[in-house]
Amino acid sequence: MTGGYTGKILRVNLTTKAISTIATSKYEEFGGGHGIGSAVFFDLVGDQLPFEAFDPRNLIIMMASPFSGTFMPGSGRCEVQGLGPMLYPIEWFGHSNFGGRFTAQLKFAGWDGIVVEGASAEPVWINIVNDKVKIESAKGIWGMDTWDTQEEISRRVIPSLRYGEWAELAENCFTTQIPAVVCCGPAGENKSRLGCLLHGPGSQAALCGFGGVFGSKKLKAISAIGSGDVPIADPKAFMKARLWFRQFQWNVDNPRDADKFEGGGPYSLISGRPSGGNVLNREMPLIPARAAACASCPRGCRMRLASGDSNESVCAGTMVINVDGSMKFTRQGNDLMQRFGLGHWQLMPLMSYVQSLAREGVLGKGKQVDTNLPLDQAGTFGYAEALMRQIALRQGIGNDLAEGCARFAEKIGRYKQDVNSGTLSLAYWGTANHYDPAIEAEWGFGSLLGERDLMLHMMSNYPIHWMAWSGSPYLTAEECAKLYTDAMEPYQGDVFMVDHSDGPTGIYSDSKVKQVAWIKHYEKFWVGAGGFCGWRWPMCITNNTADRRGPTPQAEPKFWNAVTGKNLTFADYMEVGHKIYTLDRSIWVLQGRHRNMEVFPDYIYDRPSRGHDMTMYIDGKWKYDKGVGRKLDRAKVEDFKTKFYKFEGYNPENGYPTRQTLEKMNLRKVADALKSKNKLG
Amino acid sequence: MSEDKNSEKRKASQKRLSRRDFLVAGGTVVAVDALIATTPAKGIAATAPAAAGTSYPASKGYLVYDSKKCAGCTTCMLSCSLVHYGVQNPSRSRIQIMQDSWGKFPNDIKMSPCRQCVAPVCVQNCPVGAAFVDTANGNVRRINSNKCIGCKTCIKMCPQQPHRPVWVVINGTGKSSKCDLCIDSPYWDEKGGPGGKQACVEACPMMAIKFVSQTPDQEQTEGYDVNLRNDHWINLGLVDNSTVVPTKSLEWKVGGGE
């Protein structure tokens, strides 16, 4: 290992209090991040599956990537893995990730990742200062919200720390940075399946309910601070690549086509411009603010405001709580969600469902689902606070709501009815519906063939969706299809990968199979193993260049090779992504996955689509079209799945990976494990 | 590595510093008595410092910055450590960006590049002449790590907070280092220094750091912390005053959602 890695992964057993290391080199073939995390999970507990997420055998794996701690643009997210208690009907081996600067500090401290196993009898937190690691008592911290927790832990890590001064971490080791802390809130402590992990004021690992797993382990937080080096194999090439990348960034002083892309509208999301992720500071008078970036991100999609609220929250982190008539209380309501440690992506459909049941007369004081929630005050800060408090502390109805949408609905006997009707707007494995699978099929299929909502915004549908929807696309549909698919190595040249029609080259076609495979492989390697931000990568098209071509697929291997010293191609790394996806899928199979489970709720098939502007090839011509009224065809979806399993090397009868596929990927032991359970494809 | 031969010849024995002298810079008044008393290396105080009142030719280059434009990505810090040491490590960076994620704009970020002081206290007080004015390269204030004995005098003398000289460990030995405007950047194929390029300036995605040749106001912090924003920045909805209204609407032109 020459560059990018520190060489060791921290292993902490909270039951025995043993602290040890795993050599990163043992897992180098998986790249980093998600890839190494999956391999470690399989090695440590794969033979014990299935078991439950709150079982002490479950692991929390938090992996950095070779890019973490470097200035690789839009990288450095922390990949969290383990059995996810909010996933349904099985708590799949899941993943979530968060931005900020945690993995950067972890790398500077000398660690490529953390594996936490077991469970403590008493509340604890893990204190990492360079190579010194301690399991500390969380006495006085357990019970705090996420913000107070981080402040208190920073104080305990470096008592002499003063903002704006150097601090001595150890002899000859200095930093001006503050400890990076990730923690659960009260929701996680109480094993809520909605419990997120929070770092900073607004960086959530929202999906999967890993805050609840922290709580089940009596683990309140992990803090990392370091002063060491991240080695770079070819520093000159890395610097050259970084400066080459500037052409793809939003030029803050002189943006290309400013008249078109400045101001409001969907381009604030997809143009790569700073601060566009926080939607809560757009009304006049504006609150003075800065764009705030995660470590090394050239975009800076977040904000920090002069009011100090809504700092570093973006997208759903600013959208779940809406207080009628008050932007200020809307910001503070969403901040309260962060402080309770409630995952935004789970809380959003749950709040809608509660309102829906109330409107139906099923839920309320003295009703079938009895609650003292002030339902008549919905839309106020007080209502939002009461609801979140009950969920986080498992008070009243909150005890059932803390089980998450799907399990709550199941408990009141309405799951099948409400999820199939769409009253409960879940779509894949207990996570909320997002983009319409009937139109933006790659999002739907990519989620269904995974373990949770895809949540990869820069995959094809997202930049195309918003560009087209702006009413002023910067590419024609034909140009878009060509440029986009030109970047999709190794399947480049098949323009129909982004055909979103339901015609012969559309959403059920062989081309769509390739696109979904490309997405899963990119997800597992570049986003997962590389720590990329899903709001930044891939970049197949961009408004920031004259020819509208993005840095994908040139940039990814250019940076990776400069950092690590390897000399592989984009396609080589995508094949590693295929391998990681296959390993993940094998773990799901060991948990009980079968192709028969990979189906959408009825409403996804039966409810006519409202339509979305996307690239479609209709009657021999490319156009942006909506597909209004379209329904997913069950038989064609099943046919699509069959083609996908074959394409990926899985048995189409059950979706299980085959021995041939696994051995070709040097995953013989995985094949043996599946064979021992009679689940080899 | 290019060094100022004249500066190198400046003998430590030629330097004298009155124990009554006080340093006044950047609004900070520091008693030299106390500082020298805290210098860890023994027996060097009598050998080194330049005479009070010694004047130095002004640097021909400075870094100014806009702390309201900075997004805190720390790309500048990592660029600095990369081009100078071939690794990425903010603790080695000669520009420090500190931020309080819960802070209120604009006090949530502090940017701290070296000021290339007109009266360079680090140069003035270095006991062995390792800190010097590089007259061959635009009078940039530099530290020759080969000559540095690790006494930390420059660090303790720097009146800025945080101190701009940076403590780095090179081959197991602690040394001081400081911004050289990328004159000596062995891991970058660009000419640095005045007239050249600086890694932090080139890499900053917010264009929040700028090289200037005119000496900034030495008395006020604002002399270095300047406004580098134009209307394009304001049109992102990023204002430093609530009375400012962007020329373009920030409202969505069309409705709907995901």
Q: Does B69 touch chain A (CB under 8 A)?
A: yes
On whether the CB atoms of residues A281 and B237 are closer than 8 A, the answer is: yes
Q: Which residues of A touch B248 (CB under 8 A)?
A: 262-264
Cβ distance B254 to A311 less than 8 Å, yes or no, reads no
| CATH classification of the domain holding A512 | 1.10.599.10
Q: What percentage of residues in chain A have a pLDDT greater than 70?
A: 100
Return all residues near A655 (Cβ < 8 A) that are at least 6 apart: A585, A589, A593, A594, A595, A598, A641, A645, A681
Query: Among all residues of chain B, which has the CA nearest to that of A259?
Result: B248
Return all residues near A515 (Cβ < 8 A) that are at least 6 apart: A442, A460, A488, A491, A497, A498
Cβ distance A231 to B87 less than 8 Å, yes or no, reads yes
In whole angstroms, give the CA distance from residue A70 to residue B81: 10
Asked if A416 and A449 sit in the same domain, the reply is no
Q: Which residues of B touch A163 (CB under 8 A)?
A: 98, 100, 110
Closest CA to A441 of A494, A398, A505, A487: A505
| Residue B3 clears pLDDT 50, i.e. is over it | no
Query: What is the Rg, in whole angstroms, of the alpha carbon atoms belonging to chain A?
Result: 24
| Residue B30 clears pLDDT 80, i.e. is over it | no
Determine the pLDDT at residue A127.
Answer: 98
| CATH classification of the domain holding A147 | 3.60.9.10
Asked if A450 and A350 sit in the same domain, the reply is no
Cβ distance B203 to A71 less than 8 Å, yes or no, reads yes
Closest CA to A460 of A426, A476, A483, A493: A483
The answer to whether position B240 is within a domain reads no
The residue written with tokens 């926080």 in the block is A278
Domain that holds residue B31: 5-234
Closest CA to B156 of B73, B49, B234: B49
- pTM comes to 0.94
| Residue A361 clears pLDDT 80, i.e. is over it | yes
Look up residue A549 and give its DSSP letter. B
Distance from CA of B60 to the nearest CA of A (A): 25
Q: How many domains does chain A have?
A: 3
Q: What is the pLDDT averaged over residues A401-423?
A: 97
Determine the pLDDT at residue A9.
Answer: 98
Asked if A578 and A486 sit in the same domain, the reply is yes
Using DSSP, how many helices (H) and how many strands (E) does chain A show? 24, 23
The answer to whether position A234 is within a domain reads no
Helix (H) or strand (E) holding A405: helix A404-411
Using DSSP, how many helices (H) and how many strands (E) does chain B show? 7, 11
Q: How many domains does chain B have?
A: 1
**Mean of the per-residue pLDDT values for chain A?**
96
The answer to whether position B249 is within a domain reads no
Asked if A67 and A179 sit in the same domain, the reply is yes
Where does a domain end: A225, A253, A283?
A225
The answer to whether position B55 is within a domain reads yes
Among B residues 153-172, those touching chain A with beta carbons less than 8 Å apart: 161-163, 166-167, 169
Residue type for position A502: D
Determine the pLDDT at residue B17.
Answer: 30
The answer to whether position A624 is within a domain reads yes
The answer to whether position A241 is within a domain reads no
Work out the number of other CB atoms within 10 angstroms of the CB of residue A19: 13
Determine the pLDDT at residue A444.
Answer: 97
The answer to whether position B184 is within a domain reads yes
Determine the pLDDT at residue B8.
Answer: 40
Query: Among all residues of chain B, which has the CA nearest to that of A297?
Result: B73
Determine the pLDDT at residue B51.
Answer: 66
| CATH classification of the domain holding B107 | 3.30.70.20
Question: In Å, what is the CA distance from B71 to each residue of A299, A609, B91, B108, B221?
Answer: 9, 40, 19, 10, 19
Determine the pLDDT at residue B4.
Answer: 42
Cβ distance B203 to A242 less than 8 Å, yes or no, reads yes
In whole angstroms, give the CA distance from residue A337 to residue A344: 8
In whole angstroms, give the CA distance from residue A39 to residue A37: 5
Complete DSSP assignment for chain B: ----HHHHH--GGG----TT-EEEETTEEEEHHHHHHH--STT-TTT-PPPTT---PPPS-EEEE-TTT-----HHHHHHHHHHHSEE-GGG-SSEEEE-TTSPTTTTEEEE-----SS-HHHHH-TTS-EEEEGGGTTEEEE-TTT--S--HHHHH--SSS-SSEEEEETTEEEEE---TTSS-TTSSS--STTS--HHHHH-TT--EEEESSPPPSS-GGGTB-----HHHHTTT--SSTT---SS--S-SS----
Asked if A468 and A336 sit in the same domain, the reply is no
| Residue B34 clears pLDDT 80, i.e. is over it | no
Q: What is the pLDDT averaged over residues A288-317?
A: 96
Asked if A148 and A67 sit in the same domain, the reply is yes
Asked if A133 and A193 sit in the same domain, the reply is yes
Helix (H) or strand (E) holding A103: helix A102-108
In whole angstroms, give the CA distance from residue A483 to residue B127: 62
SS3 state at A225: strand
The answer to whether position A240 is within a domain reads no
On whether the CB atoms of residues A624 and A473 are closer than 8 A, the answer is: yes
Q: Which residues of B touch A289 (CB under 8 A)?
A: 105, 237-239
On whether the CB atoms of residues B62 and B216 are closer than 8 A, the answer is: yes
Closest CA to B233 of B221, B243, B223, B246: B246
Domain that holds residue A535: 431-676
Q: Does B75 touch chain A (CB under 8 A)?
A: yes
Q: What is the pLDDT averaged over residues A170-178?
A: 94
Q: What digits encode the pLDDT tens for the residues A25-72?
A: 999 999 999 999 999 999 999 999 999 999 999 999 999 999 999 999
Q: State the helix-helix crossing angle for A668-676 and A570-591, rounded to 10 degrees.
A: 20
